[in-house]
Amino acid sequence: PPLSQIFNSFDFEYVARHTMSPNAWAYYSSGSDDEITVRENHRAFHKIWFRPRVLVDVKNVDISTTMLGTKSSVPFYITATALGKLGHPEGEVVLTRGADKMDVIQMIPTLASCSFDEIVDAATDKQTQWMQLYVNMDREVTKKIVQHAEKRGVKGLFITVDAPQLGRREKDMRTKFGDPGAQVQQSDDSVDRSQGAARAISSFIDPSLSWKDIPWFQSITKMPIILKGVQCAEDALKAVEYKVDGILLSNHGGRQLEFARPSIEVLVEVMAALRAKGWQDYIEVYIDGGIRRATDVIKALCLGAKGVGIGRPFLYAMSTYGEDGVCHLIQLLKDEMEMNMRLIGATKIEDLNPSMVDLKSIFTH
């Protein structure tokens, strides 16, 4: 269908499911085991209702914000997802171009199909990019990657902490990862591809990574450091004690620990713990997982998130309609966002607060 017939992120998913190669669809859509966390990530948003304010002058609505010190036209960003060339021959740079046109931040994955420099080169000067980091067993390799990213102007380092070993994604394993478009820079051709794409490319990740390594990261870079994959209040408080700049509450889009809780529920727990200690301003809190509608974004912001990441919808938009699809998805989300801000009685991001949502049903199933 023409893009004019695509009205929301689910429409992109539908077209992707019916037009992408089976390999690419399997790798992008899959989650761990029975994909319960994948499903609940989005469904958890259905348990949160709005408490709108009326008779607020909402003629002018501004949805721009600041994340990690940089301005963004929207409080969501394109999150890091590996293997862009599975879905589009040009890979991640397609996301870069769309993000640039629409003034949206992009997080660059360690396991991109394009090289890191290609993705940075595809950006314009005004564009903000962050980097997702898988930590290598050889710390000298990691140090080089981090310092190179900083030199190239990357504005935030998201260290993935939920993947000491890659999860078991059976849909992906069944297709056996034969697609040559799926090569990544770091991959080693001697790896066993029979276990699917995820396993094949992850053998370098260091499972011994621990809290003790955090000061080392702080010593090698001045970029803000954000832990990607925190999932409970205890670790959120620890993150503040270790003086990291942010946490990203995430279960890796349901691709790692099956039965990890939906990120939006974790957000409620984490913000309560931070507020109880008066620590909520010491750290920026982000979430990702299952965000498909602007109402999902608004709910997360009401509950205290500084911003949210969106993964699969951008992969599907890129794979089906290329750069135009990426721009169209961003425009749809912007339009949804402005309308729903108006309807809940908010004119700017700072207006969003916990009294605008009703959590009565979130923990009762």
Residues recognised as catalytic: 134, 162, 252
The conformational region for residue 253 under phi > 0 = left, psi -120 to 50 = alpha, else beta, is left
Tell me the closest approach of the beta carbon of residue 233 to ligand FNR, in angstroms. Answer: 20
Q: What is the dihedral of CA 261, 265, 267, 270, to 10 degrees?
A: -80
Tell me the closest approach of the beta carbon of residue 39 to ligand FNR, in angstroms. Answer: 10
Q: Binding pattern to ligand FNR, positions 284-323, x when CB under 6 A?
A: ----xxxx-----------------xxxx--x--------
- Which of the 8 DSSP states describes residue 165? S
**Is residue 154 a contact point for ligand FNR (CB under 6 A)?**
no
Tell me the closest approach of the beta carbon of residue 342 to ligand FNR, in angstroms. Answer: 25
Q: Residue with the closest Cβ to ligand FNR?
A: 311
Nearer to ligand FNR, 81 or 320 (CB): 81
> Is residue 307 packed enough to be buried (19+ CB in 10 Å), middle (13-18) or exposed (0-12)?
buried
Q: Of 74-82, 121-129, 326-334, 349-357, which part binds ligand FNR (CB under 6 A)?
A: 74-82
Spatial separation of the C-alpha atoms in residues 184 and 191, rounded to whole Å: 12
Q: Binding pattern to ligand FNR, positions 123-152, x when CB under 6 A?
A: ---------x--------------------
**Is residue 250 a contact point for ligand FNR (CB under 6 A)?**
yes
Nearer to ligand FNR, 28 or 321 (CB): 28
Q: Binding pattern to ligand FNR, positions 172-211, x when CB under 6 A?
A: ----------------------------------------
Single out the residue of 138, 136, 142 nearest to residue 205, CA to CA. Answer: 136
H or E element: which one contains 87?
none
Structure tokens at 95: 């996301």
- Which of the 8 DSSP states describes residue 135? P
Q: Where do the DSSP E strands lie in the chain?
A: 49-50, 65-67, 70-72, 76-78, 106-108, 129-133, 157-160, 225-230, 246-249, 284-288, 307-310, 357-358
Tell me the closest approach of the beta carbon of residue 325 to ligand FNR, in angstroms. Answer: 16
Residues 11-70 contacting ligand FNR, CB under 6 A: 27-28, 41
> Is residue 194 packed enough to be buried (19+ CB in 10 Å), middle (13-18) or exposed (0-12)?
exposed
**Is residue 79 a contact point for ligand FNR (CB under 6 A)?**
yes
Q: Which residues bind ligand FNR (CB under 6 A)?
A: 27-28, 41, 79-82, 109, 111, 132, 160, 228, 250, 252-253, 255, 288-291, 309-312, 315
